[in-house]
Amino acid sequence: MEFDCKAPANVADSLTRTVCVKKTQQSVLNLTILGIFAGVYIGFGAQLATLVTHDLAAHVGLGLSKFFGGAVFSVGLMLVVIAGAELFTGNNLILLSVLDRQVKLRGLFRNWTVVYFANFAGALLLVLLMYWSGLWKTGGGALGAAALKLADGKVSLTFLEALARGILCNWLVCLAVWMAVSARDVAGKILAIFFPIMAFVASGFEHSIANMYFIPMGLVLKGQGLAEVSANLTVGGMVVKNLIPVTIGNIIGGALFVAALYWIVYVRKSKKEA
């Protein structure tokens, strides 16, 4: 059976010499706007996953509940890739262009820095809008209580747990982006994105940008008396207990296990053959 998609070597070449290079040439203004979009889009997926799963396990079991949460969360990356936005975790693939000397390290760090904080701003914007919407009161506050417990769980991980889950997460996220680039139409991109993203969310892996929505949402709901939480649920706890180890893990999973290793297999090999 033949599929109408680009071969892995063609994807590697396209990302290395075109897509990732263009990302480093964007103005700071464009990166900021598109980064804010991505923070909001991933936040859309995060809030939808919270809504769908907050009471689902009691009806279909924990495993299926996690599956449905991952299924609806995938809309976030679909919006990023198809509508257009700059997502820090996907941009870990820019290392392909650095290794191929198409882009300098300062171009990579410029992109990552601007996009990371723009993603954070976008996620916080959605947190504010969701709080003002009052939708967290759904089910007599059950939705808000679920969001609160979810945030508390994320800041209660050990450093190693958060790091490992971050690696596993962005390995799948960057593979989703990789496969989306291989697809030649929108339907193909949707299918390419759906399965890896569903897998990472259902498995319980940690995504730094999604957590910029999940944890602040818990922080703003903390004083509503919806559920008891640990002392870790603070701004400091969010940064130290989750965002730092998860971000490091995301970089390892995306930049090393996808970008660097695929560069060795496909790009470096083709240059040596040439």
**Residue 3 placed within a domain:** no
Calculate the alpha carbon distances from 152 to 14, 144, 184 in Å: 41, 12, 41
Is the dihedral angle over the CA atoms 50, 54, 57, 60 positive or is it negative? negative
What is the domain-level CATH number for residue 222?
Answer: 1.20.1080.10
**Residue 5 placed within a domain:** no
**Residue 259 placed within a domain:** yes
Task: State the number of CA atoms in the 13 A half-sphere of 48 facing the CB.
Answer: 15
Q: Decide which of 159 and 2 is more confident.
A: 159
Whole-model pTM: value is 0.94
Q: What is the mean pLDDT of residues 250-274?
A: 88
Quick: pLDDT tens for 45-91.
999 999 999 999 999 999 999 999 999 999 999 999 999 999 999 99
Q: What percentage of the chain reaches a pLDDT higher than 70?
A: 96
Token code pair at residue 100: 């191929």
* Tokens 């649920």 found at: 233
Burial class (CB in 10 A: 0-12, 13-18, 19+), 50: buried
Computed over its alpha carbons, how large is the radius of gyration of the chain? 19
3-class DSSP state of 274: coil
Whether residue 112 has pLDDT greater than 60 = yes
Instruction: Give the pLDDT of residue 6.
Output: 86
**Residue 200 placed within a domain:** yes
- Count of structural domains, the chain: 1
Is the dihedral angle over the CA atoms 83, 202, 40, 123 positive or is it negative? negative
**Residue 4 placed within a domain:** no
Burial class (CB in 10 A: 0-12, 13-18, 19+), 132: exposed
**Residue 2 placed within a domain:** no
Calculate the alpha carbon distances from 262 to 11, 86, 210, 248 in Å: 10, 21, 26, 20
Backbone phi, psi, residue 179, to 5°: -70, -35
Tell me if 225 sits within 8 A of 138, measured CB to CB: no
Instruction: Give the pLDDT of residue 3.
Output: 55
> Which among 19, 72, 14, 8 has a CA at the least distance from the CA of 201?
72
**Residue 1 placed within a domain:** no
Q: What is the mean pLDDT of residues 160-178?
A: 98
**Residue 144 placed within a domain:** yes
Instruction: Give the pLDDT of residue 268.
Output: 86
Calculate the alpha carbon distances from 232 to 1, 48, 227 in Å: 52, 25, 14
Give the structural domain span for 96.
11-273
